[in-house]
Amino acid sequence: MSKRSWGLCFMLSAFLGFSHAATPTLANGHGSLRVCQDPNNMPFSNNHGDGIENKLAELMAQALGVPLTYHAFPQRMGFIRNTLRYKLPGEDYPCDIVMGVPRGFDQVATTSAYYRSSYALVFPLGHGLDQVNSVDDFLKLGPERLKRLRMGVYDRSPASDWLSRHGLEDAGVPYKLLNADPASYPGEIIERDLAQGQIDVAIVWGPMAAYFAKRVQSPQLRLVPMRSEAGLTLEFDMAMGVRHGEAAWKAQVESVLQQQQQQIQAVLMSFDVPLLETHHGPP
């Protein structure tokens, strides 16, 4: 073999070796970040990659140096069972990580929390509630007035429990948490029904409240964060979730979360997420 041919072979071998190294195998056993996502659940995720969790997945894939892929399924309908834990005989799992779950959620192994938020009241200004700047202000309106309000809440949610706690069940307008319509999305409670006056107040998860309150231009909406009460949790630490028993993969995700703290906070702030100090103890 001539020196020229040997040199070309060496260069080709080096190039192939570099190409292989540039696509590392993750602790999940794959060469890509495979994310389980809802295709229509803004501000968290959608098929266009516009959501908070999409941006965080992009950050993570970039930090790991791997491509990003999604497996989509509506999060309202047995999401974990049909994505992270779905596996037919002889086939692989379709995805390896859920980008947003409450820390301690028992269907998955959760990472440390990367943000903490709370439920929130959302209501239009100019309709008799302009003096409300806190939950205490809201409750001081008194039962007689509060019971005349139409308060939209998702059934079996902490918001529904809060109404019961304060004797306001009759004011509640229930929305299905598990909606089989793939075209439906949770933010409709604000963007459609609250904006059009079908309800007077919405009580929803803070990041969703902030995103859709900002999107509605008329009427102007006010967001009032809520706080947990004795025996009723309204604030949650949010984490990422992987399958139980995948300790190495979980540790790799944890490492990226720690390295990317500032970038993660920047994403959350860009979506106006109402942020509280995260808790670092046991969930």
Nearest to 97 by CA among 259, 281, 251, 207: 251
Please give the model's pTM, rounded to 2 decimal places: 0.87
* Token duo for residue 164: 């019961």
Residue 17 clears pLDDT 60, i.e. is over it: no
Q: Which phi and psi angles does 37 have, rounded to 5°?
A: -145, 155
| DSSP-based three-state secondary structure for 22 | coil
Q: Where are the beta strands (DSSP E) in 29-114?
A: 33-37, 40-41, 45-46, 68-72, 97-102, 109-110
For 70, 136, 270, the CA distances from 202, given in Å and listed in that order, are: 31, 16, 23
Residue 13 clears pLDDT 50, i.e. is over it: no
Question: What's the pLDDT score for residue 22?
Answer: 47
- The answer to whether the beta carbons of residues 225 and 162 sit under 8 Å apart is no
Residue 109 clears pLDDT 70, i.e. is over it: yes
Axis crossing angle, helix 247-259 with helix 261-270, rounded to the nearest 10: 70
Domains by residue range for the chain, with CATH: 34-115+236-270 (3.40.190.10), 117-225 (3.40.190.10)
Per-residue exposure over 223-232, b if at least 16 CB sit within 10 Å of its own CB, e if not: bbbbeeeeee
Lowest-confidence pick of 23-32, 34-43, 56-65, 172-181: 23-32
* Token duo for residue 123: 């209501």
User: What integer is the mean pLDDT of 84-111?
Assistant: 96
DSSP annotation string for 176-245: -SS---TT--TTHIIIIIITTTS-SEEEEEHHHHHHHHHH--SS-EEEEE---BTTB--EEEEEEEE-TT
Q: Which phi and psi angles does 225 have, rounded to 5°?
A: -60, 145
pLDDT digits (tens, 9 = 90+) for 113-165: 999 999 999 999 999 999 999 999 999 999 999 999 999 999 989 999 999 99
| DSSP-based three-state secondary structure for 109 | strand
User: What integer is the mean pLDDT of 17-25?
Assistant: 46
pLDDT digits (tens, 9 = 90+) for 248-262: 999 999 999 999 999
Task: Indicate the pLDDT class of residue 8, thresholds 50, 70 and 90.
Answer: very low
- The answer to whether the beta carbons of residues 112 and 105 sit under 8 Å apart is no
pLDDT digits (tens, 9 = 90+) for 190-239: 999 999 999 999 999 999 999 999 999 999 999 999 999 999 999 999 99
Structure letter (DSSP) for residue 156: T
